[in-house]
Amino acid sequence: MKYRIAIMAALAVTWTGSVLAQAKDPTIAGIEKYREMLGDDNPAELYEARGEILWKKAAGPKNVSLEKCDLGLGPGVVKGAYAKTPRYFGDAGRVMDIESRINWCRETIQGFSTADIVKKPFGSADKPSEIEDLLAYVVTASKGMKISPPNSHPKELEAFALGEALFHLRAGPYDFSCGTCHAVDGMRIRLQELPNLTKTADAKGAYTGWPAYRVSTSRLHSMQWRINDCFRQQRFPEPKYMSESVNALITFLAVMGEGAEYKGPALKR
Ligand code: HEC
């Protein structure tokens, strides 16, 4: 056992030492160029188009559409709703990010069960999940708007504080926090720049970068997925889909990114 701990510790040192290098590299310029070359052709538009059809189509055990869904700005208002999340929803009694809220509508309006919704939330390249389509439609309707989560209701302030605390919480086999990788300037892992999410400028870019279509995986990924995957990188157990802690972290990130103009689903390597 002692040996195992020593090996783990040694691995942690070499791993952090080698991969968390300071960035000053032409590769970053190369990636930017690649993004430029892909230009305006973002396959996220296909998700958006499918999402709009799904939104308006009667579905679920109750066979109704989502058109009466209240995303925070009143029943049926999609335009601009994403920019004002995460927020506290009185009917649900909790703070939700946009993905949690769309799913809440699928449950309460369309009658899907929680089990159905959490079964396979993240799709695959050949089989996107419905929530990813719906999400693309809803977020795109906030294009051009400024990110402005309300951050005023006591529950919203509580979610922000919890998110901030979780961001700095060190634990797991490597004793990593989110901040180990995301509270330092100019850090990168291999070719990937790591934003310093405690700084407004980086946080703005990072927050508005999701949901994103990733060329490397040929899929659209949500912010819920992004946080899940970072928990994996942190060697933490995978959080429950739409859990309070993930919503709190998303609240923290949204408030840090406040004021950024949302440009629609991003395109990533
Ligand atoms: C071991 C290092 C590591 C840890 C710990 C980590 N991340 Fe990440 N994070 C990454 C990497 C790598 C990327 C991907 C960068 C890329 O693909 O450009 C990333 C990307 C992100 C992004 C998207 C940034 C962007 O500009 O697109 C967010 C947001 C994020 N992480 C949040 C978190 C949160 C919240 C936590 C804690 C739960 C966390 N990360 C923990 C390594 C880490």
**Per-residue pLDDT tens digits for 194-252:** 999 999 999 999 999 999 999 888 899 999 999 999 999 999 999 999 999 999 999 99
52 in Cβ contact with 69 (< 8 Å): no
End-to-end CA distance of the chain: 40
**Chain-centroid distance, C-alpha 51:** 18
Q: Residue 139 in contact with residue 220, Cβ under 8 Å?
A: no
Question: Average pLDDT, stretch 16-38?
Answer: 57
Closest by CA position to 147, among listed 206, 199, 224: 206
Q: Is the CB of 230 under 6 A from ligand 1?
A: yes
pLDDT exceeds cutoff 80 at 13: no
pLDDT, mean of residues 187-197: 85
Query: What band does 11 get if pLDDT is binned at 50, 70 and 90?
Result: very low
Predicted local distance difference test score (pLDDT) of residue 1: 37
Report the candidate in 183, 148, 158, 156 with the shortest Cα–Cα distance to residue 168.
Answer: 183
Q: Which atom of ligand 1 is nearest to the CA of 253?
A: 29
How confident is the prediction for the chain on average, in pLDDT? Answer: 88
In angstroms, the CA 199 to CA 219 distance is 28
pLDDT in tens, 106-134: 999 999 999 999 988 898 888 889 999 99
176 Cβ closer than 6 Å to some ligand 1 atom: yes
| Residue 183: per-residue pLDDT | 95
**Higher per-residue pLDDT: 22 or 68:** 68
Distance 178 CA to ligand 1 centre (A): 7
228 CB contacts (<8 Å, ≥6 apart)?
122, 238, 239, 241, 246
Q: How remote is the CA of residue 121 from the centroid of ligand 1, in Å?
A: 20
Q: How far is the CA of 196 from the centre of ligand 1 (A)?
A: 10
141 pLDDT band (50/70/90 cuts)? very high
CA of 227 to the centre of ligand 1 (A): 7
Nearest CA to ligand 1 atom 29: 206
> What is the arithmetic mean of pLDDT over 67-80?
98
Residue 59 token pair: 């579905």
CA 198 to chain CA centroid, nearest Å: 16
Cα 151 to Cα 33, 116, 144, 155: the distances in Å are: 36, 31, 21, 9
Q: How far apart are CA 107 and CA 117, in angstroms?
A: 8
More confident residue, 124 or 18: 124
Q: What's the pLDDT tens digit per position in 149-179? A: 999 999 999 999 999 999 999 999 999 999 9
Question: At which residue do the structure tokens 């070499």 appear?
Answer: 14
What residue type is assigned to position 189 of the chain? Answer: I
| Least confident stretch, 10-19, 146-155, 187-196, 248-257 | 10-19
Residue 136, CA distances (Å) to 56, 167, 200 in order: 14, 26, 25
